[in-house]
Amino acid sequence: MLLTYYLMKISMPRTIKMIRMTIAGVLIGAGIAIHAHASAVVPIANRLAGKILLQVERNGEAWYVHPTHHTRYYFGRPRDALTIMRQQGLGISNRDLFRLFGIPPSSPPAPVYITKSVVLAQRLAGRILLQVEAHGEAYYINPKDLRGYYLGSPADALRVMQTLGEGIRDNDLAQIPVAIPGTSGFTAPHSVLPPLTTPPSIISVTTPSGSSDIKITDFLLWSNAHGIEIVGIHKTTDHFYYQGGKPEDFSDPKDVPNLLEVADGLYQIPENIIAVLKGKTLYVSHLNGRGYAVLGSWPEQNILAGMNRGVILEQQLKKENVVHEIGHILDYHGIRGMYEDPQNLFANLEPLRKEIFSVSFPYDPALVAPPVGYLNVYSTANDAENFAEHFASYVFRAQDFRVRAKRDEILQRKYDFFKNNLFGGREYAL
């Protein structure tokens, strides 16, 4: 189901340059503390959440520990830092930035900002903030002093590392999971479908190792590696729509029932489609309801304030519903590029999508059977539901879709649209 939201145009942040942080030899002289071994009571990743760590037993390599999912990101090359800022940075409006630091929208950035709102700073401690209504200027909220540190130039970044970075030994650092693929310690999930470079074939939608073998930690690492944030929630969609998201509304996704249904759904989708979710958030709820696509927010009116683009998934979590909602994101952002979404990866398909999935008649939920060209009555609600329902059917009701398409020209066009343009010829068994 798709809600119509007020949406905020978010410009892509400008390229923010940073330099490689190799600070060995100055750590002790600069007075940087070295963390002792973590206590048995509080895991070290929790204690160091949101902080910048310097690997003192090597070459002073810098790591950023994410404040919510407690995995670490390596600040190595400039493009590494840029990726972290774009994927893990939290967009902030000019109004909220003024509330936080008293920064007028047109003023040039300063090196350090004193907090004007302690409550807001506590909510954002350890976060990298992106000024999305300007040029994507980046600020780091230091958890120790709750001040904001500008991350604009290489010199600024080096100063932040030298001043705020905390030394850590290798044994302690190893206890914090690595979030970026290709670096030491990253564990890839075992249930991802083969890449699209494999020959087209009909595949099964069952998880290869069985759902009992899927570890939630693997799923969260997989999500992080794809730039997808998973957040637990325990408020209704109406609450987020009218009152926005507050820290107390969010929780650890590991505690949400049926979370592996979300994993099972996402693992069925090819990598080229998953890429549309980069930079977005999947909010998984403890409450009963349905799924909703969050296409943007309107903080000035407190509509979905503090919420990222993505999907709200309410109980009962089912993989079919997950894929349906992902279909909305693919449609609105991936194909149509609405609201200047940066993941408009399939823009070339928009004319054909409009031709095949437009609905030209009023919705009648009382229909006892779908009309020609539709797999079910709900898919006739509008063109967005038409797309999302058939997208989910291509994955989870593929055999029925194929059989009915053989005697229905419109359904055949829909099936071929997905097969040839999005799934690279891959078909599903069920």
Q: What domain range includes position 135?
A: 34-173
- Within 13 Å and on the Cβ side, how many CA atoms surround 32? 27
Asked whether residue 395 is assigned to any structural domain, the reply reads yes
Q: 287: how many CB neighbours lie within 10 A of its CB?
A: 12
- Contact criterion met (CB below 8 Å) for 139 and 113: yes
pLDDT digits (tens, 9 = 90+) for 363-410: 888 888 999 999 999 999 899 999 999 999 999 999 999 999 999 999
Do 310 and 396 lie in one domain? The reply is yes
Asked whether residue 274 is assigned to any structural domain, the reply reads yes
Asked whether residue 83 is assigned to any structural domain, the reply reads yes
Number of domains in the chain: 2
* CA–CA separation, 197 and 27 (whole Å): 46
Do 163 and 222 lie in one domain? The reply is no
Do 128 and 217 lie in one domain? The reply is no
**Which of 153, 173, 193 represents a domain boundary (last residue)?**
173
Token representation of residue 138: 């980046």
Asked whether residue 185 is assigned to any structural domain, the reply reads no
Side by side, the strands of the sheet bearing 128-131 are 90-92, 128-131, 137-141, 148-150, 112-113
Give strand pairing partners of 73: 64
pLDDT digits (tens, 9 = 90+) for 279-334: 999 999 999 887 888 888 877 777 788 899 999 999 888 999 999 999 999 999 99
State the first-to-last Cα distance of the chain, in angstroms, to the nearest integer: 23
pLDDT for 59 equals 73
> What is the DSSP code string of 126-165?
TPEEEETTTT-EEEEE-TTT--EEE--SHHHHHHHHHHH-
- CA angle, 218 then 197 then 282, to 5°: 35
Q: What contacts 393, CB < 8 A, 6 or more positions away?
A: 375, 400, 401
Strand, helix or coil for residue 69:
coil
pLDDT band at residue 156 using 50, 70 and 90 as cut-offs? low
**Which of 128, 156, 173 represents a domain boundary (last residue)?**
173
pLDDT for 85 equals 65
Strand, helix or coil for residue 63:
strand
DSSP E strand boundaries for 347-426: none
Asked whether residue 7 is assigned to any structural domain, the reply reads no
* CA–CA separation, 126 and 427 (whole Å): 44
Phi (first) and psi of residue 252, to 5 degrees: -70, 125
Asked whether residue 296 is assigned to any structural domain, the reply reads yes
- Contact criterion met (CB below 8 Å) for 98 and 104: yes
CATH number of the structural domain spanning residue 285: 3.40.390
Do 359 and 227 lie in one domain? The reply is yes
- Contact criterion met (CB below 8 Å) for 68 and 233: no
Q: What contacts 391, CB < 8 A, 6 or more positions away?
A: 323, 324, 326, 327, 330, 331, 418
Do 159 and 223 lie in one domain? The reply is no
Asked whether residue 179 is assigned to any structural domain, the reply reads no
The pLDDT of 55-75, averaged and rounded, is: 81
Q: 102: how many CB neighbours lie within 10 A of its CB?
A: 13
- Contact criterion met (CB below 8 Å) for 75 and 124: no
Task: Tell which residue, 299, 262, 303, has the closest CA to residue 282.
Answer: 262
pLDDT digits (tens, 9 = 90+) for 102-151: 877 667 778 888 888 888 888 889 988 888 777 777 888 999 889 988 88
How far apart, in Å, are the Cα atoms of 313 and each of 93, 116, 325, 393? 25, 35, 8, 18
Asked whether residue 208 is assigned to any structural domain, the reply reads yes
Do 137 and 239 lie in one domain? The reply is no
**Which of 173, 189, 216 represents a domain boundary (last residue)?**
173
Task: Tell which residue, 175, 177, 162, has the closest CA to residue 60.
Answer: 162
Lowest-confidence range among 17-31, 208-222, 245-259, 400-414? Answer: 17-31
Do 220 and 303 lie in one domain? The reply is yes
Do 160 and 210 lie in one domain? The reply is no
Do 165 and 212 lie in one domain? The reply is no
Label the pairing between strands 72-75 and 90-92: unpaired
pLDDT band at residue 78 using 50, 70 and 90 as cut-offs? low
Do 258 and 380 lie in one domain? The reply is yes
Do 276 and 376 lie in one domain? The reply is yes
Do 373 and 237 lie in one domain? The reply is yes
